[in-house]
Each structure stands twice: as C-alpha cells, then as structure tokens.
Amino acid sequence: MLNFFKRKKYPEFWQKHIDTVKNCKKYANYENIRFVALDTETTGFDYENDRILCIGAVAIQNNRILVSDSFEVYIKQDVFNKETVKIHGIRKNGTEIKVSEEEALIAFLDYLDDAIIIAHHTKFDMTMINNALKRLNVGPIQSKQLDTNYIHKKIATEDRFKKLFSLDELCEIYNVKKHDRHTALGDALITAYIFLKLTFKYKKNNVLNLTELINTNYYLNK
C-alpha cells in the first residue's frame, strides 16, 4: 500500500529535463533566453508507425544564431521506407554514425537544456519526438514551444486566412536562402533564420509583445 503513495521514480535523464524546465528563470527577459530551432527527418508522416531518422538543431540567443552551438544525431533505422530516401537522402546502411533512439533522445534533451523550442509546423516534430519518448516510458517534452507558421500568421498582411505556410513559402516571403534543404540540421538553420526575421518584424511593428508570445506556448494544430 505504501508503494502506491511513493513518488514515481523517473530515469535520471528525464528527471533532469523536468527539473531544468521547471526551474528556468530566463523567460521574462528575451535577451537571456536560449532558443533552439529544431527539425526532424523521418521515415514518413504516420505518427504511430514511422520513426525519426535524424534530429538537427541550432541555438539562437540575443538575436544571433549560434552556429557553434548546434546539434545533429542520426538514429539507427529499425523502420525503413525507401520512398522517403528520395527526400532526405538518409539510407538504411549509409555512412552516417547512428545511435539508438534512446541514446539520441537523451543526447538531444541534454543539448536542449532550458531552451525554448522553435520549429516549423511544430506539431509534427514534437509528436514524433514525444512518441519516441513514450516508447521509453517518459514524456512528453516539457519545454515551451513556438511555431514559425503560427508566428507568421499573426503578422501576415496577405493570405491571412491561409492555414498552413510551407517552409519554402516562408523562405520566399522573408528572403531566406535554402541551404541543405531537407536535411534536419539544414532545415533547423533555415527555421532559425526565419525566426529572426519574424521577431525583427514583431519588434518593428509591435504586433505582439514577445514575452506574451513566448508565454502562449502555442503551436498550430495543437
């Protein structure tokens, strides 16, 4: 009976993640916040049956992209879909150094630390990551999350009623060059550039207080 009332014991990496996010005091001061632009490459778009192949991320702080503070990990392919290789180029027996899904997630959470996650169509990346964490009997990720598609819709003057903007469309709108498109780290870097363009426009037009935006912790199609 006493065991029922005992606090659930989480794996060390997951307890660290929970405590780090819970104890973060940076969110009130924009200049101090570390953002992490994130992208995943996957075997497909089925949340239940497809798997993450690669996680790429790059940090942003005080309106600067910190290229030296980046992350990329490839995951061993227990699930393989030859059709999507045409998009991301990641082969089952490719030359990339690959680790297990568990090792990749632990490494990513350690890299993420107390950052706020930035992604384009955040729901997809976060659902894939959270489903992977669920397979480890933890999750979902506790970090605040922002969606570049959602931010753009808040300030868009054209196509106001359009629900989804692709990453390519935002690159065209904000004049962002598309280097290494359809690689996790490449798309994370593109997302980081778009985020900086969006936040600059927010400040310039004073459309919405950035602190208010961060505290919405909202992503499109939640």
Residue 113 lies in a domain: yes
Structural domain boundaries, residue 174 = 31-216
Residue 2 lies in a domain: no
User: Please, which pLDDT band fits residue 207 given cuts at 50, 70 and 90?
Assistant: low
At 97, the amino acid letter reads I
Residue 14 lies in a domain: no
Rounded percentage of the chain residues whose pLDDT exceeds 70: 83
106 alpha carbon, distance to own chain's centre: 15
Whether 4 has a pLDDT exceeding 50, the answer reads no
Hey, is 49 helix, strand or coil? coil
Number of structural domains in the chain: 1
User: Please, which pLDDT band fits residue 5 given cuts at 50, 70 and 90?
Assistant: very low
User: pLDDT of 121-140, one tens digit each?
Assistant: 999 999 999 999 999 999 89
Residue 25 lies in a domain: no
CATH code assigned at 210 = 3.30.420.10
Q: Which has the minimum average pLDDT: 82-96, 103-117, 122-136, 143-157?
A: 82-96
Task: Work out the angle at residue 157's Cα, subtended by the Cα atoms of residues 186 and 167, and round it to the nearest 5 degrees.
Answer: 15
Residue 8 lies in a domain: no
Give the chain's count of helices (H) and strands (E).
9, 6
Q: Which has the minimum average pLDDT: 80-94, 98-112, 192-206?
A: 80-94
Residue 137 lies in a domain: yes
Residue position matching structure tokens 């890299």: 111
Residue 10 lies in a domain: no
